[in-house]
Structures are given as C-alpha cells and as structure tokens.
A and B are shown apart, each in its own frame.
Chain A
C-alpha cells in the first residue's frame, strides 16, 4: 500500500489533496473548539503573563 502511494509521488495531485485535507481539518478543528470556549476562561488564560507573583515586578506596579 505505502509503496503504491510513494510510487505515485511524481503526481502532485494526491500530495496537494492530502496537504489540503490535513490543513483544513486541523484548522477547522482549532477554530471550532476555540470558539466554544468561555470568555471568562479565555480572559484568565490571556492574563497569565501578568500574574507571575514576581515581587520584583511590584515596583513597576505591573501585577
């Protein structure tokens, strides 16, 4: 089976189709699942860099 696939590699079609399908699949999955996430959770995650408990940052009041 794999030999057959590899032997037809000179033909761009299967590669293009394979690449397109994989990409569309991954992309759609990521988009779909990201937009089902609650906004509060997203806000908390986005704020993670600003909440690092590093007291040396306190001076610049960036907590």
Chain B
C-alpha cells in the first residue's frame, strides 16, 4: 500500500519590533558612546574640560567610553542583527517574545547601571570588564536569557541546515559565557566592591585572555556572522565561497582563543605563554584574511553597484578595515614590533580601525539596509547616506593616522639615547607635549565621524517617519523535514544540523586553548617565583590602592617596567612577577599617557605627591594630568577596611591572626605619620590625616619598594 505525502506549509510571523528596538538602542548608545569618547579625547588636550568634577574626569569616563562603545553600541548592534537574521535563516519566529523583551530591557538596564556606576568610580579595574559584581551577575542572567531565546529558536526551526552566520552566533554565545565567568571570579566586600580571586600575573593572564577574546568574540565573531548574512543580502548574491566560510569559522574560533598573551609581551608573564600568544596571533592572519576576502569577493560582478549604493560602500570599508586590523594585530604581536608599539597611542589607533571601521561601518551599512525594510519604505535620502559614508571614512583616517604618528614618535623618543649613553628625553613630559598636536587632530577626526552619525540619525528618523513599522511579518514555510542519515553522508552536514553538537564542539575547541594556557599558570608555583621581601599592603596602602582604582589611574599609567634599557634607565629595575603576588586586582595598565609608576615609591617626598595631585602643573609644567581636588576634601572610608582584610585573608594573603581587628587603628597610625611628615615639609591642611590624599600617597610611596636595596 502506498502513502501519499503532501507538504503543507505553516503560517507564522517574524518579530520586527524587537529588531527595531535593538536598532534604536544601537543608534542612541552609538551617539552616547562616541560623544563620551570625544569628551575624553578633548580632555587629553584640555585637561580642565572636566571642570573639576570627579565624575567626568578622564580616568572615570574612559571606561565609560569603552564600555558604551563595546557593550552598548556594538552589543545592541549584534542583537539587532541576530534577531533579524536568525528568524529568517531558521524560518521561525523567535522562541519567546517575552524573553526577547526581557533581553532587550535587561540589557538596557545594565547599560544604565554602567553609566551610573563607572563615573562614580565603582570599578573592578579589569579593562572592558570594569563593572562590579552585582552588574556582572545581571549580565550573566540576561546573557542566559539571550541564549535560551536563541537556542529555543534554533530548536523549533523549519530549516534543517544552520547557515554559517548562526555558527558564529553560537560560538559567540558560548565563549562570552566562559570568558565572563572566569574573568569575574571575585569575592564581594560589599555591594559595590569586590576582590578578584586571582592575583598579579595570574590575574593579568586571565584578564588579557578575556580582554583579547572580548575583541574576538564580541567585536569580531558576531559581526562576522552579520557580515555573512547582511553582505549577501545587500549585494543580492550568495557569499563568494561557502566552503571558505566553514574553514574560516573553525580556524578562527580555534586560533583566536590562544592569542591573549600578546597583550603581555615583555611583561612578567612567563616566556612560554608569551611565545604561544605570538605564534597564534600570527596564525590568525590566515583565517581572518580568508574571511575578509570571502566578504569582498562576494561583491564580484557587483562593483558597479558599490559605486552607487552607500550600503555597500559602508560594508566594503568595514570588511577592508577588518582586513587591515587583523593584519596589524598579528604584526603588533611580534615582540620586536610590540616593543615599539606597546603602551603608546599606536594601540589606540589600531583598536579604532577595528571599532570605527569594522564595527561602526558594518553597523551603519546594516542600519541603512534594515531600516527601510522594517518600515516598508525607501531610505529618506541616499545623498545623506553618501555624505555620512565620506564623513565616516575621513573621520577614521583623521582619527587613526595621527595616533599612529603619535605612537611611533613617542616610542622613538622614549628609546632615544644620547651619544653619551643618557636618555635623550629624560623628562617623560617632553614626549607627551610633543604629540599633543596629534591628539588635537585625532579629536577632529572623532568629531567628523560623529557628525556623520548625527546625519545618519536624521536620515533614519525621517525614513521611519515616512513609513510604518511592519511589526509582524506574515510568512509561510514548510515544516522541518525529519532527516534520515544517508550512508556516506558528509560529516559536516551532520554537525550543521545539530545545534547542540555544534555548541559542544565550539565549547571544546575554545576551552582547549583557554585551559592549556591558563591552568599551568594557576597550578604551578614555579611560574611565579616568590620573593622573600615582598609583603602585603598595609591597610592604609590598601585604601590608597582602591582610590587609585576608583580614579582609573591605570588608564594612563602602567605599573610594569619591561626589561629594556630604555625602560630601566628611565624607571628603574624591571618588574618581576613575584612582586605582584598580593596585587588583587593587578594594575599593570596598558597605556602610558603618563610615565610608568611601578618604581615611583620613595622617589619623591610626600609633599611632591601632595602638590602634584592638587595641581599637576605646579610640579610638571605642561602636564595634561587633571588636578584631583576632591582627594583633599573627602575622608578615607575605613568602614570596609576590616572586611577587605578578611577577604584577602581567605585568599591566603598572610596578614596575622585577627589582623582585621587592628587594621583601622594601624591605618590611622600610618596616616598620622604621613600627615606629620607632610607638615614638616611645609604642607598645611586641617584634619590632613583623615583625607584620601594621605592613603593615595601611602600607596604611591610603597610602589615597587619591596625589592629596592636599602
């Protein structure tokens, strides 16, 4: 008996409201994030632009800018693109509209929490992971909501095959989960302060394993997914090579995870870890360029349209910027080049080719493509979009080129010796004032770029006003056919149909790299040789250190002297890994707008620091460091000193038994000693021993002194 099967189509709809919402958030936070960036850039030329207000001082708004750009602008951009493409690629509405809404509003609340806490100085100081533990937990929860919504949609899909873009989304989800958890292992002291479980070198390795992969798996892989979906859509032709996209995917996620240590070349990190970072970074060129070429070649035969269509122009520049920054990144990971580039503005130029070029331009291209579609109308003005394109492109050039110039110039000045063997520019400040004109041009570049974004906002606003949002797009598609495996069926197709296996395979690949690098550092003491004379911080120094963290000092000052003559001549003995075993968190920093501070301890009298924090220009004429008058008004907060000591003791910091009970008394005693010395040096201020500046001076004077020969 024969059975006749008829394929009936199912009716369903795509949710465009959530796409629109994330789109609006992308635009709003793009403007906010870039505006904060511009203010920070202007403060580097005119430090007084903080108007003496602690909440908008460079050290505090710099993390606000990076977090806003990465997690608010690009983050919302990712979700906008994922929610649009995932539904269509899987021929299914999102798993749950409620989860979509929780995801959207949860993410925006997290952004608001970041915008409030970072200016308040509430920060864990881990770069790009600055948010404190309650917000970290909120991020984890919302990320899980996103995961359930995404995997739920994948499971109820009508299309058997998972298109390559979705693999990038899956890998992103898995890896960000792992990274976020590991880099935020911390013990709360109170609601807005935590202490990381890892210290010194280990904290540094985990942080830069995270930091690098935040770039890899937040700024890159999800955007590659978007590229593989939206570029073919905009060009109206399939991707150049689907086979290449598969190789691109597996090679990229495998290699990326290993490259983190390239942020720590020449530091106290063991050599083997540094070498791994370099090798894998160089290997990254292959898959990255494979992806870039795949993107550009998708436009084969459509280059005439690129001339006319601003969407494609944005995408071409985005993919080109991806290619440029993924070539530059590996080159910067070669030790001899890194010796020149690290700690300079070259790095800032490099990351902005990535964010302004790759993330920014791709986001704009997608927005120009998406907005008329979901509003069922034409783009308000192609001419304005073209204007935006040119402003964006010129803005990037005016931003990046001066910074490359500045970075190179400053590095050469740092390393320049006279014929007699002395540093040619012994005063660090000379190397700063030299590059201020470049900072000014950078700020102009940023302004041009932002101007383009404002034009886009107007254009998208007018487009939306002219159309009406198609909230639910009615469609129909046949149900997913139950697939029976044929003999000799291609392996990859098997995994492509199975999201859970895919999730598992991606996780294993990502974990291999992470674990091989990180576990030995955690478990083997030999990797961090102990130094007998290194002692834990005193309670006052500990409070001073927390003020250093609150003010974001590490945004401009490193605490890591590399083993090079140009550094040891300028700063003193190079930094040893054993010196940082009580540093929770580590504060090595990654940029020297000001000099390294690891051996600043006992270099100047207390009064020098006092005057310098009150009015930096009084000690260093021409300095672009802002004054910190509030440190002289605010009292040292000792409410949590005992709790901090307790937490540190649970992490094996060798404070004596019941030390927490006497900690505040010891703190006051040391504060009085410093205040008395200051008075002897001619400083007069009422209740001086209670002020925050005393704690900060105590910390500064301790830095790097443990191994100094008395």
Using a CB–CB cutoff of 8 Å, the interface residues on chain A facing chain B are 6-7, 9-12, 15-16, 18-19, 22-23, 26-27, 29-31, 33-38, 41-43, 45-50, 52-57, 59-60, 62
Q: Which residues of A contact B88 (CB under 8 A)?
A: 49, 52-54
The answer to whether B527 touches A9 (Cβ under 8 A) is yes
Does any Cβ of A come within 8 Å of B272's Cβ?
yes
Task: Check A30–B247 contact: CB distance below 8 A.
Answer: yes
Residues of A within 8 A of B280 (CB): 19
Residue among A16, A36, A45, A49 making CB contact with B276, cutoff 8 Å: A16
| CB closest residue in chain B, given A32 | B491
Q: When the two chains form their complex, are residues A19 and B276 in contact, meaning their CB atoms are under 8 A apart?
A: yes
Q: Are B476 and A10 in contact (CB under 8 A)?
A: no
B511 to chain A, nearest CB (A): 12
CB of B374 closer than 8 Å to a CB of A: yes
The residues of B that contact A47 with a CB separation of less than 8 Å are 238
Whether the pair A34, B232 counts as a contact (CB closer than 8 A) is no
Distance between Cα atoms of A6 and B515 in the complex (Å):
11
Tell me, rounded to whole Å, the shortest Cβ–Cβ distance linking A23 to chain B. 6
B279 contacts A16, CB within 8 Å? Answer: yes
Q: Which of A16, A29, A42, A59 lies in contact with B243, CB distance below 8 A?
A: A42
Task: Please name all residues of chain B whose beta carbon is closer than 8 Å to the beta carbon of A6 when the two chains form the complex.
Answer: 519-520, 523-524
What residues of A have a CB within 8 angstroms of the CB of B247 in the complex? 27, 30-31, 34
Contact A42 B242 (CB under 8 A): yes
| Cα A60 to Cα B243 with chains together (Å) | 28
| CB nearest to A11 among chain B residues | B272
Q: Which of A15, A22, A54, A59 contacts B473 (CB 8 A)?
A: A54
* A59→B375 CA distance, assembly (Å): 12
Which of A9, A33, A41 lies at the interface centre, i.e. has the most chain B CB atoms within 10 A of its CB?
A9
Q: Of residues 39 to 62 in B, which have CB atoms within 8 Å of A's CB atoms?
A: none
- Give the chain B neighbours of A33 by CB distance below 8 A: 490-492
Chain B residues closer than 8 Å to A56, beta-carbon distance: 373-374, 376, 470, 473
CA distance A42 to B524 in the complex (A): 48
Question: CB within 8 A of B163: which of A19, A26, A49?
Answer: A49
Contacts A26-B509, A42-B243 given; does A9 touch B490 at CB 8 Å = no
B161 at interface (Cβ–Cβ under 8 A)?
Answer: yes
Return 7 A-B CB contacts under 8 Å, by A number: A9-B524, A15-B276, A16-B275, A31-B247, A46-B232, A50-B237, A57-B373
Smallest Cβ distance from B496 to chain A, in angstroms?
A: 8
Residues of B within 8 Å of A50, CB to CB, are 232-233, 236-238
Question: Does A53 lie within 8 Å of B475, measured CB to CB?
Answer: yes
* Assembled-state Cα–Cα distance A42/B247 (Å): 14
| Central interface residue in A18, A35, A46, A50, by most chain B CB within 10 Å | A46
Contacts of B242 in A (CB 8 A): 42-43, 45-46
User: Considering the complex, which residues of chain B in the window 65-90 have a beta carbon less than 8 Å from any beta carbon of chain A?
Assistant: 85, 88-89
Name the residue of chain B whose CB is nearest to the CB of A53. Answer: B475
Contact status B250-A30, CB under 8 Å: yes
In the complex, which of the residues A41, A45, A57 has the most CB atoms of chain B within 10 Å of its own CB atom?
A: A45
Chain B residues 85-132 with CB under 8 Å of chain A are: 85, 88-89, 91
For the complex, give the distance between the alpha carbons of A19 and B520 in Å.
Answer: 15
* Residues A55 and B243 in contact in the complex (CB < 8 Å), given A10-B272, A36-B490: no
5 extra interface residue pairs, beta carbon distance < 8 Å, beyond A27-B254, A49-B89, A49-B232: A19-B513, A23-B254, A29-B491, A31-B247, A54-B475
A9 CA to B475 CA, complexed, in Å:
56
Measured between beta carbons, the chain B residues less than 8 angstroms from A22 are 254, 512
Question: Which single residue of chain A is at the shortest CB-CB distance from B255?
Answer: A23
- The residues of A that contact B251 with a CB separation of less than 8 Å are 26-27, 30
Give bound CA distance, A37 to B242, whole Å: 11
Contacts of B243 in A (CB 8 A): 34-35, 37, 42
Is the C-beta of B258 less than 8 angstroms from some C-beta in chain A? yes
Closest chain-B Cβ to A9's Cβ sits at a distance in Å of 3
Instruction: Report the separation of the CA atoms of residues A53 and B93 in the bound assembly, to the nearest whole angstrom.
Output: 12
The reply to whether the CB of B516 lies closer than 8 angstroms to some CB of chain A is: yes
Contact with A along B471-508 (1 / 0, CB 8 A): 00111110000000000001111000000000000000
Question: A52 contacts B89, CB within 8 Å?
Answer: yes
Contact between A48 and B163, CB atoms less than 8 A apart: yes
B36 at the interface (CB under 8 A from A): no
User: Which 8 A-B pairs have CB atoms at the shortest separation, nearest pair first?
Assistant: A9-B520, A52-B88, A46-B238, A46-B242, A12-B272, A53-B475, A48-B163, A30-B250
- In the assembled complex, the Cα of A60 lies from the Cα of B425 at a distance in Å of 62
- Using known A-B contacts A10-B524, A43-B238, A55-B474, determine if residue A48 contacts B254 with beta carbons closer than 8 Å: no
A27–B376 CA distance with the chains assembled, in angstroms: 44
Scoring B272, B275, B493, B509 by chain A CB atoms within 10 A of each residue's CB, the highest score goes to: B272
Tell me how far the C-beta of A3 lies from the nearest C-beta in chain B, rounded to whole angstroms: 9
Does B540 lie at the interface of the complex (its beta carbon under 8 Å from any beta carbon of A)? no
Closest-by-CB residue of A relative to B242 is A46
Contacts of B376 in A (CB 8 A): 56, 59
Question: Would you give the shortest CB distance from A34 to chain B, in whole angstroms?
Answer: 5
In the complex, B142 has a CB within 8 A of chain A = no
Known: A27-B250, A34-B247, A37-B490. A7 touches B524 (CB 8 A): yes
* Chain B residues with CB below 8 A from A46, complex form: 232, 238-239, 242
Say which residue of A7, A10, A27, A60 sits within 8 Å of B270 (CB atoms). Answer: A10
CB distance from B469 to the nearest CB of A (A): 11
Interface 1/0s, chain B 213-247, versus A by CB < 8 A? 00000000000000011001100111100110011
